[in-house]
Every structure is written in C-alpha cells, then in structure tokens.
Chains A and B, each alone.
Chain A
C-alpha cells in the first residue's frame, strides 16, 4: 500500500441513500438540541418525544427503502478512487444491525419517555447539574424542571451505534465508538433516584471507557505501523502479503483493538464496570445500553475480526477463546450470588456476551448469522425485562432488591408472568428466542473444531448455572410468601406497555417461528471485503 498522498484531491463519493438512516438520526438529534435551546419548557417534552419517535421511524423507513429498492446490501460506499474501501460500509451485517439498533432505540425511547403522570421523563433527574439533595434540586423539582436533553443525547448515541458496525477503518470506528459512548456516560448519571449511585456509575463508566479507548487507539497505532493504513481491507491485504518488516506489531495491535471493543460488550476481564453502571444508570438507559451497545460493539467486533484480521486468526484466536470462556464462567457464577435485580441482569448480560463470543469465534459465515440473530433476540428481551424492572416500585423508587420481588406473582400475575417468560428466554428454554439464539451461535461453533466444541460444552454448563439463577427468581415471585404488599407495579402508560409487549412478542415469535428472521440474518451475513 502506498502511503504517499494522492496526487490530487479526490472528493469522496457518497451514497446518500445508504447513509440516509444515520443522517436522519443525526438530524433529529441536532433538531433536539435546537428544541432544547429555543422552545419553552412546557413544550419541550412533547417536541422531544415527537422528534425522537418520528426520527427513528423515518430512519427505519429509509433503511427499509435502501435495503429493498436500492440494493445497498451489495454495494459498498466507495472511498478514495472508487474502490470498495470506504470509511462507512453499508453491507448485509450493517443493515441488519442498523435495523436491529433502530428497533431497540424505538422501544427504548418509548421506555425513556415514560412519565407515570409526571411532568418529565420519570427516570431522569429534574436537574442534572444540581448536587444531590441540595436546595437547587428541590427548587428544580418544584418548578417542574426536567432534563429533556436526554432525548438528543440518546439520539446521538443511537447514531453512533449505527455507525459503529459500519466503520470500514479503525479511525471511523473510534469516532463512532466515542459518539455512542459519550452521550451514554452522561445519560448514566442522570437518574432521578439514588443520584449518587448514578453519578458514581457515570464517572466509573467514563473513566474506564476512556481507559479502554486508549487501548483501542494504541492498538490502532500498532496496526497502522504494521499495515501502513487503518483501513480494514488494507490490514487484511498486509496480513496476506506478509510483506511488512513490523510483523511483531500485528498480534499486539489486534489484541489491543479487541480490548477496546470487548470492553464495550462487557467481556471478562474488561467487565468490571458493567454491574456498577447497570445498577446506577436510569433503568431505561440500562436496558438500551445492554441491548444497543452490545449489538453495535459486536457488529464492530465482527467486522474487525472477519474483514480485517481473519487471516491472522491463528495468532489471536486462542486469547479470545480464553476471554470467551472466562466471560461465560464469571458471568454465570457471579450471577448466582447477586441480590439486586439490575446487577443480576448485568451479570447475565456478561454471560450472554460470552455466549455471543462463542459464535464470533466460529469464524464461519453461519457464525455471523447466528451472532446477528442472537443480538436481535437478546436485545429485545433485555429491553422488555428492564422496562418491567422499572415498573416494580416500593414507595416511588424502584424495588430492585430481590427480596422485594417475593410474592409478586400473586399480586401482579401479568407482570410477573411476562417477566418470568423473559427470564426463561434468558435461560434459553425452548419456545423462547433465547433457545433459538443459543442454538444459532452454538451450532456453528460446534462445527468449527475442538476449541469451539469445548466452548460450547462450557457454554451449556454455564447456561445450566444461569437457569438456576432465573428459576430462583421465578420461585421467588410465585412460590414465596411475601411479608407485605408495599411493593407494587405502577400502572404503565401506553409507552412502556408497547415496549414490554413488543419485546415479549418478539421473544415468543423468535422462539416459536424463528425461520424468517434466521433466514434474514443468514442472507445478511456476508461482509463486503
């Protein structure tokens, strides 16, 4: 690869139809900023919710239009000189993940906008800048202030997530990573209740995120040193050519980039932030983060691993196998002793990250489709589950301690029933999407060789451990007498109801009749190289 500058400046050719969904979300976010600046307080909530929902739906429409009529699935976004070496690559996996993320975002936005009859979004503090417990905070609450800027922040994060799996070079990937992360750090710190916990979580997430970003950047630098380019296709070509004098940079570079990405999905040993942040963040944000970040980051991992460095798989795969095994084990084992619902779901998400990694490591096209399916299935279940966690309250604040969930099945059979069903999906019980998803990632892994088979066996054992955890909650809800009835399910508005119903419906449908989505994932599993 020539590292010399091109003789003349060549304008990049942009396929606007392919980019339209991302652009719409960015546009909606900008519009949200303007709303925040210029609209009176009373009109902001409605305007924000309207812009967010319309923007997301429009992006979905554009995505569908692009995928169906424009056939962007087969065309890369041309970069320099017309070759398929774009900075943003809209191919099958990208389209699938963007659609998935948009669906997550729509459901999460509905959950985010839940007011329970109050003035602003219920999950968020009226004034983020005020010290917790200070007079300013009380004042802000009195005048009916709200942090409506969560909606544009949320949209920026969504746009970053959409860009993340589409990034064709490591710098674009890094930009996308930061675009999705920075708003999330902020969102994590804006919880209405238990604000200190929330702010602590935000700070931890930010610090550790910055730390991992440094690893990512360092890895990028090493890979640039190796290949002379940050484009994934160039890196792949350099590995194939074996012409570099700096061969030693390759494996450390790959691993460091992976550290940055694995941090985002919460893989062990880069998972420590997950329980604290999941617990501290406002619950709708947690649900969105668990579903969306995971989908986007795994998309980026897939692209980096399958397009960029697949030819060097022998060198880095053992390390990732160990990470996957540790992730499953730690996630499953630690979920056993959790007493907080949100922390428990955090460890569950760590274990799930391990299961998904098993699919990634199969290095087969069927593995890609399995991972895509898993991400969609797991995300929908997760958003619905966190939406329900947000509904169970004691004295106005969320009742996240497990002991508070005892006997919920008797008092609120519907809520508890749906939650139990979602837990069974997490456990991977047949007729739920969890089973289909696990099957979809484990099958290619089993066929990929000894390491894959060992991981699958380990994965099944860990699944068995997690079944215990989930069933224990079901037993708690249905078969344990509760001391009082101070814990109750708040009456959700249509927003949360739609979120829970959609997530549950998908969980059921993807478990009972998953064929069409599996087929879609399979057709979308071809990367453009």
Chain B
C-alpha cells in the first residue's frame, strides 16, 4: 500500500478547505468553468427534447456541437491541470448546497483530478466522434432528433458520474447513464425483442443499483458522510468488516453497470440499440463505470482485502466467460459485446489487484475505449453496407469492397490482440504481468486466467475479423456492400489512429502512470511477477499467435459454412451465452414467481381478509352509528345533555 496521506486528502472536494493545505484546491481560472462540461450536453438534450419537431433539421448538428464543446472544455481543464504540479492536480468546484439537512450537509461539487479528467477526455472525445458518426449512420431514421437528445443526455450523465465529488452525486450520474442506456437500447422499441432487451438491461442494472444504494447507506452509517474526502479520510479508523461490506456492495453496483458476472446477461441483448450506441455506451464508456467506481473507491478496497479478492475473482470469471461466449457468436455485434465483457473483466481484475493494477486498469480502459469503439463503428459500417445484416456467416471477403472499414477494423483487431506496438500491447500485457505478481496460489490462478484469456481473445477476434473481411464471399447477389459515407469513416479513422498509437504515447513513456499517480498512488514497479516480465511477454505473444493461427485455419483457409454447424457441447453452450438466461430463470425467476404467488395468496387470504374484515367492521359500525343521526333537534340536544351528564358524572365519581 504505497498510498500516502497526501494522496488521500488530495481527493477531496466540495468541503470547507480552510486550514487543510493538502485538500483539493478550489478550482480557479479555466477550471472554474468545468461545470460547462455537464451543462453543454444537458442543454443539447433539453433543447432537442423540449424543442420537438421544430429542431428536427438542425437538432442533430446542434447536439454534435454541444458534445464537441464539452470536449473543448474538457481539454481546457486538462491543460490547466497539466499546468499544475502533480501533487496539486486535484481541483474542487463547488456547485451548490445540495442536501442541507441538519447535521448532514451535502454539497454538490465536482472533483477535477487526473482520474476524472482522463475519463472526461475519453467520454467527450469518443462521444463526439460517435456523434459525428451517427450523423451518417442515423441519417435516414425519422426519429434521429430523439436519438441525438438521448446521446447528449448520456454524455451529460456520464460526465456527471465521473466528475462528482460524492457518492450520492455519482449515484445521480449512475442512474442518468442507466436511463440513457435504457432509452437507447429500446430506441427502436416498435420491435418487441428490442424493447424487452431494454427492459432486461433495466432490471439487471437495478440489481446493481441496489448495491450502490446500500453502499451509500453503509457509508453514511460508517463515516457519517458520503463525499469522497470524508470517506477516504475515515477509512483509516473504520471497522474492516464494515469496509468489506461497503466494498462488496460497490462491487455489486459495478457488476450491474459493467456487465460483470453474475449480472452480465444484459449486455449481449443491449446490442439491440443502434450501433453507435453500442460503441459509445456499451463498449467505450458506460460499461466501464464499474471499473471507475472501484478505482475511485480504492481507499476502501485497499483496506478491505476480502472485497478486493472478490473483485479479482469476478474479473477473472468474467474475462474467461466473455471470451468463451465470444468464440461461438455469429452475430458480429454480440461477438463484440462478449469481447467487451471479457475486456472489462480484465480491467476489473486489474482494479482488484490493488495499487499494482489501478493505473493499468484505467490505461486499458482508455485504450479499450478507442479500439473497441472503433471496431463497433466498423461493425456498424459493415451493417450499413450489408442492409443491417449482422450474421458473420453471411459476410466474408469484405476487405475488397470496404477498404477503409477493413483497415480501421484491422488496427482495432491488432490492438485488442496485444500485438506490439499497438495499444492493447501496452495495456493488456501490463495487466497480465500485474496478475502474475504476488505470493501463493493467486498469481498462478489469476495470471493463467489472463494469459489463457488472451489466447482465446486472439482466437475469437481473429475469427470475427477473418469471417467478416476475409475468406470466401458468402453474401447473396442482391447485397451491394459499399463503403460508408465520410461522416462515418472519418471517426473510424480517428479511432483507429488512436488504437494504433495511444498505447505507444502513454505506455513506454509511463505517461499514464505518472498522470494517475496523485490519485491511485505508486504503480508498484517494485513488484516482480512470478514469471519474469520478458519471458512472460514472449509467452503471451506466443499464446496470441496460437489463437490467431487457429482462427486462420478454421475461418480463412477453410470454408465457413453458411449455416452454423451443430458444434460441440461447449460451442452450443457458448452460443446460448453459457445458459446464463436459463440459469437466471431457474435460480432467480422461477423461485421469485413462486414466492410472489405465495405472497399473493397470503395477501389475499391473510392481509386482505383482515383488512376486508376490518373494513366491514368499520362500515357496519358506521351504518349503525348513522341511525343515531336521525335529524331530530330534540334527540341531538338529548345526546349533548347525555354527554354532559356522563362526563360530569364520571368526573364526580372519580373525584
């Protein structure tokens, strides 16, 4: 635990700063305008939603402009942070007094530190590119105004999530992105499966949100506050059991949002949304919010090793799970979704490793944001050219007709494989390396999981790439695959360039490690993996090469059947997402239904019976009492007199 006290205090925001030299500085200069980050896209969403049909013509452009404006602000904030010493890179921006409830004072504020600004840059840059892409992709959709409004809403909520300085405000952003995600998955909700996919995502996310809510309540109970500064400062004196509980609740929240085991089932179905949405929300940004949450709460996890272990286990299971499922999917988007799940598993695992892994988790998150978004946009481009077909068995040899898509997708493919010098090599291999650090059984189990995962990743991504762009033509004659318009290809090119070089810029220079150091502490260079780093790198590359070779043999060299073969038991299981829906149904839904039925029965017989009986009693009494009210003044007067006599009589007797 190389976490220094300064670092902990450096995460503060929104609190009185008097006499606390180490606390975050109040933002000044350009950083004081950081609220515009959220305000711009929010304004865009508001204008488009409230403006109605009048904004149809210029609304999408306006939304795109708002997103770029947010990027410019984010870049300005980044520059102003860069201008500060690394220990001073934590600025707080007080927004307003949110919950002034007696002793519980909650300020709504923003925290501008390297971690949040890294996210801001990712979200606004990739988000803006995807806005541009959507201009082309959604051009013929009659309802694209609503689409752009939701996209802007998402960007605003996501920025609020990462910029918040308290868990409660994070929760607001958390729910905001969940809402935007729900609205966008179900954007084409006239199609019942799409609508039910949105509902599925909604329900799975609610389970995670319960965790978030419980975590916040537990924090309030333990620390008396929910802002980062107080919570982090209170960790030192907190009961470890409580910290473990909080950590597990946070992990549950992260599992829901990031589609980690056991709440992973919604992500595949979420591909029902328009492809730009899949790229932005369900690949690059929102689904990584769970990783952000864990890294942001690193003080809690560092002090609760059991919760940390749980994070690693969840990450390891999910990365293997996603990789296996990815091997069997023929739907290009679902294969990418499985890959996303698996890659986030890597990040989660890294985040659970502690200080040795935090920076790499975020690093991989950033590079993944680029290459996965790029590949999703590539997939969208392919679908655009193939009349919205998604079955890869109907593709093949598209490299000739869609050159730009092919090259940009290829760069993303190389990046995710971890081929040097592309982005994934610098981030993913570091995670594999970090997973091998430690003592006892852990480095071997988790290290091997990441290593094997890398091999499977290489196989299924190559399978996807070869099935789509190489091998024999399998598309029907009436399909006329064509390259997409400039608004779509330019963002793909930009992201591909990022996939290629982002790792090279941030990795070998240790730029990302230094940048994040004020937040997550030292990066653990002093640790040594159980297998020395250089042989491990060679081994990884060997495994990856093996995966690629296998895929080449089966999906490029050999002919790919148009209809999927029956396949082995494992293949069939993987096609069914390893029976996750069936498991959910058997383990959760059926008992739930039976429980509800039992409760309904109890409610009708017991509760309603009692309530009904009571109501009948009251009603009956009421009807009888009503007869006393006979309308005769003399009987009224008699009642009064009776009352007086009884009262006086009783008082007289008692005294």
Which B residues between 612 and 638 are near A, CB-CB below 8 angstroms? 615, 618-619, 621-623, 625-626, 629, 631, 633, 635-637
Say yes or no: B622 contacts A255, CB within 8 Å.
no
Indicate if B651 sits at the interface (CB-CB under 8 A): yes
8 Å CB contact of B640 from A208, A251, A333, A336:
A208
Say yes or no: A336 contacts B651, CB within 8 Å.
no
Complex: A273 Cα to B654 Cα, angstroms: 30
Interface residues on A, range: 20 to 34
Say yes or no: B639 contacts A337, CB within 8 Å.
no
Complex: A251 Cα to B621 Cα, angstroms: 33
Minimum C-beta distance from A279 to chain B (A) = 10
Indicate if B648 sits at the interface (CB-CB under 8 A): yes
Complex: A516 Cα to B295 Cα, angstroms: 44
Say yes or no: A256 contacts B619, CB within 8 Å.
no
Indicate if A465 sits at the interface (CB-CB under 8 A): yes
Complex: A338 Cα to B253 Cα, angstroms: 51
Say yes or no: A337 contacts B626, CB within 8 Å.
yes
Contacting residues, chain B, for A269 (C-beta < 8 A): 639-640, 642-643
Complex: A272 Cα to B642 Cα, angstroms: 12
Say yes or no: A319 contacts B644, CB within 8 Å.
no
A333 nearest CB neighbor, chain B only: B622
Say yes or no: A255 contacts B637, CB within 8 Å.
no
Contacting residues, chain B, for A252 (C-beta < 8 A): 648, 651-652
Minimum C-beta distance from A325 to chain B (A) = 13
Say yes or no: A207 contacts B640, CB within 8 Å.
no
Contacting residues, chain A, for B635 (C-beta < 8 A): 272
A218 nearest CB neighbor, chain B only: B644
Indicate if A330 sits at the interface (CB-CB under 8 A): yes
Contacting residues, chain B, for A211 (C-beta < 8 A): 637, 640
8 Å CB contact of A208 from B619, B626, B637:
B637
Complex: A333 Cα to B626 Cα, angstroms: 10
A337 nearest CB neighbor, chain B only: B622
Say yes or no: B625 contacts A334, CB within 8 Å.
yes
Contact digits for A207-224, partner B, Cβ 8 Å, 1 yes 0 no: 110011001000000000
B626 nearest CB neighbor, chain A only: A337
Indicate if B84 sits at the interface (CB-CB under 8 A): no
Indicate if B650 sits at the interface (CB-CB under 8 A): yes
Q: With contacts defined as CB atoms under 8 Å apart, how many contacts are there between chain A and chain B in the complex?
A: 74
Say yes or no: B618 contacts A465, CB within 8 Å.
yes
Say yes or no: A208 contacts B636, CB within 8 Å.
yes
Say yes or no: A336 contacts B636, CB within 8 Å.
no
8 Å CB contact of A319 from B619, B633, B647:
B647
Say yes or no: A315 contacts B655, CB within 8 Å.
yes
Complex: A330 Cα to B621 Cα, angstroms: 10
| Known contacts A207-B633, A315-B655; is-contact A333 B643 (Cβ 8 Å) | no
Contact digits for A238-270, partner B, Cβ 8 Å, 1 yes 0 no: 000000000000011001100100010000111
8 Å CB contact of B636 from A204, A251, A319:
A204
A323 nearest CB neighbor, chain B only: B647
Contacting residues, chain A, for B643 (C-beta < 8 A): 259, 268-270
Minimum C-beta distance from A218 to chain B (A) = 10
Contacting residues, chain A, for B640 (C-beta < 8 A): 208, 211-212, 259, 263, 269-270, 272
| Known contacts A207-B637, A270-B643; is-contact A276 B631 (Cβ 8 Å) | yes
Indicate if A275 sits at the interface (CB-CB under 8 A): yes
A335 nearest CB neighbor, chain B only: B622
Complex: A273 Cα to B640 Cα, angstroms: 10
Contacting residues, chain B, for A212 (C-beta < 8 A): 640
Say yes or no: B619 contacts A272, CB within 8 Å.
no
For the complex with contacts A269-B643, A272-B640, 16 further pairs of A-B residues with Cβ separation under 8 Å are A204-B633, A207-B633, A207-B637, A208-B640, A211-B637, A255-B651, A256-B644, A263-B640, A269-B639, A269-B642, A272-B639, A276-B631, A315-B651, A322-B647, A333-B622, A336-B619
**Which residue numbers of B lie inside 8 Å of A, CB to CB?**
615, 618-619, 621-623, 625-626, 629, 631, 633, 635-637, 639-640, 642-644, 647-648, 650-652, 654-655
Cross-chain pairs A/B with CB under 8 angstroms, 21 sampled: A215-B644, A251-B651, A251-B655, A252-B648, A255-B651, A259-B640, A259-B644, A268-B643, A269-B643, A270-B640, A272-B639, A319-B651, A330-B625, A333-B618, A334-B622, A334-B629, A335-B622, A336-B618, A336-B622, A337-B626, A468-B615
